[in-house]
Amino acid sequence: MAPSLRDLQLTRVAGAGADDDAGDLEDVRLLDSYEDGDRFSRIEEGMRRVQVSISGMTCAACSNSVEAALKSVNGVLRASVALLQNKADVVFDQSLVKDEDIKNAIEDAGFEAEILPEPSNSGTKPHGTLLGQFTIGGMTCAACVNSVEGILRNLPGVKRAVVALATSLGEVEYDPTVISKDDIVNAIEDAGFEAALVQSSEQDKIILGVAGIYSEMDVQLLEGILSHFKGVRQFRFDRTSKEVEVIFDPEVVSSRSVVDGIEGESNGQFKLNVTSPYARMTSRDVEEASNMFRLFTSSLFLSIPVFLIRVVCPHIPLVYSLLLWRCGPFQMGDWLKWVLVSLVQFVVGKRFYIAAARALRNGSTNMDVLVALGTSASYFYSVCALLYGAVTGFWSPTYFETSAMLITFVLLGKYLECLAKGKTSDAIKKLVELAPATAVLLVKDKGGKCIEEREIDALLIQPGDILKVLPGAKLPADGVVVWGSSYVNESMVTGESVPVSKEVNSSVIGGTINLHGALHVQATKVGGDAVLSQIISLVETAQMSKAPIQKFADFVASIFVPTVVVLALLTLLGWYVGGAIGAYPEEWLPANGNYFVFALMFSISVVVIACPCALGLATPTAVMVATGVGANNGVLIKGGDALERAQMIKYVIFDKTGTLTQGKATVTTAKVFAAMDRGEFLRLVASAEASSEHPLGKAIVEYARHFHFFDEPSATKDADNNSKDSISGWLFDVLEFSALPGRGIHCFIHGKHVLVGNRKLITESGISIPSNVENFLIELEESAKTGILVAYDNNLVGILGVADPLKREAAVVVEGLGKMGVTTVMVTGDNWRTARAVAKELGIQDVRAEVMPAGKAEVVRSFQKGGGLVAMVGDGINDSPALAAADVGMAIGAGTDIAIEAADYVLMRNNLEDVITAIDLSRKTFSRIRWNYVFAMGYNVVAIPIAAGVLYPSLGIKLPPWAAGACMALSSVTVVCSSLLLRRYKKPRLTTILEITVE
């Protein structure tokens, strides 16, 4: 199953400052319970997303044609075609459409298509569970849906079940060791509905390069091995590429077992390596550029003699006399030009005719139609002129060189486009290169003793594998250190240059570099679930997306070619009729020419010089470069539409805790107001909070532990992983613990009621707050600290003051945004006094305090109603509704997965400077896009009239068709190179942020 955006999750970055404290610290509560992240899914249940490689597209009209063909397929929900990447992203209803239908629709539109392999999903679900999709017939209403969901969720081994009425599909996550897919089908049918398995994540696919095949006997041996391989469902061997595609059942066999089995059964004759989907796409791009260069050089080799015959040879008497030698009805020079240009026109230029025929067959027009029309006009006119001369003896000039040079220049332009487009995708290539090729697997016996070290392909790593990582080597997978200590350079993923210390139980990210000591790492996330894979997926998805401004270009491209053809016909008619009525002198005509020939040359120039490619490339090239630049600077952008909105942001709303603050709560004050010593008070509070998962609770336990045992904070950095047994020696037994979201916690200790929380919790419980306690609480809040009240046996016994330091760059970023014309707002669930104190320190004028999680989205909407686009910056689960509601959501990269899913921008470095980077990059990108449109539109607005000859009567300026072809070839390259200038982008530094002014 293709990964949807809801499957994209970024692991918290170790050492980023909010590893264990990413939740909201306000209101002294646990993180709110929340539904599954599916509410932020951008793909409906029962839908499938595939990416398709498309060959033969040359301009925006081609991509529009493919997009229209896909959208016309019944069951296709969305289809987006990326001209630069030669790919389509299609979302469709699996009950109505199959992969082959998508491929056939594209091929029927006249292009070649290939469904791209999906990233491995082996890591997208908790280890040991599978995801299956089932068709469910007989459902007629929401009650049926609830009934089926209830039945599925009550089945043993089923972790999650979601049923969609509209698509008659159910998605079930289950443990195959407890329940099988057949059991699920039977349970649905027993309830009176029809059911069948559509697909499951248990069916996986792998593409293997096979070395050691030299004959048909070897092929038969390979196919024989796979035919008898248990768990292999299908396979297909490509004799050209020597790659075998294997679809297998992971419930029965793993990808590594498939590789080991083939190599073992062949007695070592076959050596297999896993082919990365990204490597296949890169090789396809290189092949396209290589093919275009080959066509260009062939056309150039054949066109140069034609050009020499026309321009140089007349000045060399001996050679010219040979060319004038008559051979049959024509001169030798005419024969040579006809043969050479025919090869260029119909052999080298065959692709233009094929592509033009495809477009016309599907009722669309593109750049290939213009090229085929222009070259055919000059070629067939020249042939007709020769035949007419042979019959009548009146020899008109021929323009064979126009056709040849035109095709040569067009192919040169296409080759340069391939090179330039390759540059725009450098970010993806660099990210792919970060992934290690191999890994050292430690094979251990049942006693845990290492019995073997073996090198395996990194794509064959499985969750649970123990991997050995030597100093200087790349971490082969996301995982946890189980032995050793070292420092790891994570800058290629997080952007942070300072190496991060790694010890036992520390998390590591695949692709980062181990600097010093050797490590043993247990792989936890592989395939599509790894951080690096998710970053690549995010960047790819963003690069394939279309910014709203591109709709204008797509519309212009769709009517561009017909408009140009009409203009060319009007040019032909105008000059021909003008000559016939004597509107211009005969001296303007070429030697032995006539009015039709004179008019035809202007008409061909109009057809040739017009270029819709530049319009189609103006936006996607800039978006591709910008998303790559953003990724290199730690800012992941999820789409061109996000870029377009971000450059118009008027308000930025910051969540306080974990966003403006460091998200690391520390207890700064502990005051007792009862006949209880401080040690006993802290022991009481720590006992109550020991069961809490809230960051404040952990901070209190850590403070109390330090008070009793003088532990350093570093010694308790893994306190949240400590078991109750490790602290039972000094904490009281707790009964009936319960978290009260938005207020605090309560429990019973020694049979007496204990409350730990905010003012609201205490007053709701009927406990009065003495004036001296209230004054102390106000003093804490006015100093930007959160006061936590503690009640024992219905009496207020003390207060804890908790501080969450501001990030060092927060105040400067707020001021910098103001310089950029952006108004900053702070929203928090904390009390007004604390909120105002923090806002005053930051220089934020607009504060919204005591806001519950759902209320944050309402704050966003209130600013939207006031006018202007709103950005929300947050990190916690409770920020997700606001991130989704905002025009632009920016999630702190070290925050929670749900927040990241809901956002449009992911700030990987957990640094607020990147908010300014995101807005500044968006503004510069759209400034570049506007310039691209100026270049593209300006080129056509200026070039077409010149090609039509408007300057010829007054200035004698005209463009011969071959020169018009050269101009056309360079126009789209100019736009692409303009976009590539974004690669020089440098993000604003803290020292220069305050110098930013609104223009």
- Summarize pLDDT for 917-958 with one digit per residue, the tens: 999 999 998 888 888 888 888 877 888 888 888 888 888 888
pLDDT, averaged across the chain = 77
In this prediction, residue 192 carries a pLDDT of 66
Binning the chain into helix, strand and coil, the percentages to the nearest 5 are 50, 20, 30
Q: How far is residue 698 from each of residues 719, 764, 803, measured CA to CA in Å?
A: 8, 25, 13
In this prediction, residue 897 carries a pLDDT of 62
- pLDDT over threshold 60, residue 724: no
- Rounded mean pLDDT of 311-331? 78
pLDDT tens column, 40-92: 334 556 678 888 888 777 666 677 788 888 988 888 888 888 776 678 888 88
In this prediction, residue 754 carries a pLDDT of 92
Q: How far is 949 from 581, CA to CA, in rounded Å?
A: 18
- pLDDT over threshold 70, residue 146: no
Q: Which residue ranges make up each domain of the chain?
A: 47-116, 130-199, 283-429+549-612, 438-530, 666-710+729-803
pLDDT tens column, 755-787: 998 888 888 888 888 888 888 888 888 877 888
- pLDDT over threshold 50, residue 28: no
CB 407 within 8 Å of CB 371: yes
Higher-confidence residue of 823 and 535: namely 823
What class is the 130-199 domain?
alpha beta
- The burial class, CB within 10 Å (0-12 / 13-18 / 19+), for 695 is buried
CB 259 within 8 Å of CB 208: yes
pLDDT band at 237 (very low <50, low <70, confident <90, very high): confident
Q: How far is 18 from 881, CA to CA, in rounded Å?
A: 20
Q: Which residue has the tokens 């929670």?
A: 896
CB 314 within 8 Å of CB 307: no
Q: How far is 92 from 111, CA to CA, in rounded Å?
A: 20
- Rounded mean pLDDT of 694-716? 70
pLDDT band at 3 (very low <50, low <70, confident <90, very high): very low
Fold classification of 438-530 (topology level): 2.70.150
- Where is mean pLDDT largest: 729-733, 736-740, 967-971? 736-740
pLDDT band at 174 (very low <50, low <70, confident <90, very high): confident
Tell me, yes or no, if 875 is annotated catalytic: no
What is the 8-class DSSP label of residue 238? Answer: E
**DSSP secondary structure of 893-949:** TTS-HHHHHH-SEEETT--THHHHHHHHHHHHHHHHHHHHHHHHHHHHHHHHHHHHT
Question: Which helix (H) or strand (E) is 855 found in, with range?
Answer: helix 853-865
pLDDT band at 197 (very low <50, low <70, confident <90, very high): low
In the set 368, 465, 655, 897, the catalytic residue is: 655
User: Residue 468 pairs with which residues in a beta bridge?
Assistant: 440, 520
- Rounded mean pLDDT of 520-526? 87
Q: Quick check: helix, strand or coil at residue 291?
A: helix
The gap from C-alpha 938 to its chain's centroid, in whole angstroms, comes to 32
In this prediction, residue 32 carries a pLDDT of 29
User: Residue 704 pairs with which residues in a beta bridge?
Assistant: none
Task: Choose the CATH number for 666-710+729-803 among 2.40.70.10, 3.40.1110.10, 3.90.1150.10, 3.30.565.10.
Answer: 3.40.1110.10
Q: How far is 927 from 387, CA to CA, in rounded Å?
A: 55
Q: How far is residue 126 from each of residues 123, 446, 463, 736, 953, measured CA to CA in Å?
A: 7, 23, 10, 30, 76
- Rounded mean pLDDT of 956-966? 76
- pLDDT over threshold 70, residue 127: no
Residue 265 token pair: 């059964």
Q: How far is residue 347 from each of residues 88, 339, 743, 788, 884, measured CA to CA in Å?
A: 29, 11, 78, 82, 54
Size of the chain in residues? 999
pLDDT tens column, 424-443: 556 566 667 677 778 888 88
Higher-confidence residue of 575 and 406: namely 575
Share of the chain above pLDDT 90, in %: 4
Q: How far is 359 from 370, CA to CA, in rounded Å?
A: 11
CB 890 within 8 Å of CB 917: no
In this prediction, residue 45 carries a pLDDT of 60
CB 80 within 8 Å of CB 546: yes
Higher-confidence residue of 116 and 46: namely 116
**DSSP secondary structure of 467-497:** EEE-TTPBP-SEEEEEE--EEEE-HHHH---
Q: How many CB atoms lie within 10 A of CB 679?
A: 12
Question: Which helix (H) or strand (E) is 245 found in, with range?
Answer: strand 243-248
Put simply, whether the predicted model's pTM sits higher than 0.75 gets the answer no
Q: Which amino acid is at 230?
A: K
- Rounded mean pLDDT of 465-491? 87
Looking at domain 47-116, its CATH architecture is: 2-Layer Sandwich (3.30)
- pLDDT over threshold 70, residue 579: yes
Q: How many CB atoms lie within 10 A of CB 390?
A: 13
**DSSP secondary structure of 755-813:** EEE-HHHHHHTT----HHHHHHHHHHHHTT-EEEEEEETTEEEEEEEEE-PBPTTHHHH
- pLDDT over threshold 50, residue 905: yes
Q: How far is 840 from 843, CA to CA, in rounded Å?
A: 5
Residue 624 token pair: 């591709």
Question: Which helix (H) or strand (E) is 91 found in, with range?
Answer: strand 87-93
92-99's contacts with Cβ under 8 Å and 24+ in sequence apart are 92/47, 92/48, 92/50, 93/46, 93/47, 93/48, 93/167, 94/46, 94/47, 94/48, 94/133, 94/167, 94/169, 94/198, 94/199, 95/46, 95/135, 95/167, 95/168, 95/169, 95/198, 97/73, 99/50
Higher-confidence residue of 335 and 995: namely 335
Q: How far is 343 from 349, CA to CA, in rounded Å?
A: 8
User: Residue 450 pairs with which residues in a beta bridge?
Assistant: 444
Fold agreement between 47-116 and 438-530? no
In this prediction, residue 199 carries a pLDDT of 56
The rounded radius of gyration (Å) of the Cα atoms in the chain is 35
Q: How far is residue 100 from each of residues 69, 105, 234, 361, 801, measured CA to CA in Å?
A: 14, 8, 16, 21, 64
Q: How far is 613 from 64, CA to CA, in rounded Å?
A: 12
pLDDT band at 652 (very low <50, low <70, confident <90, very high): very high
Q: How far is 281 from 586, CA to CA, in rounded Å?
A: 57
Question: Which helix (H) or strand (E) is 148 found in, with range?
Answer: helix 142-153
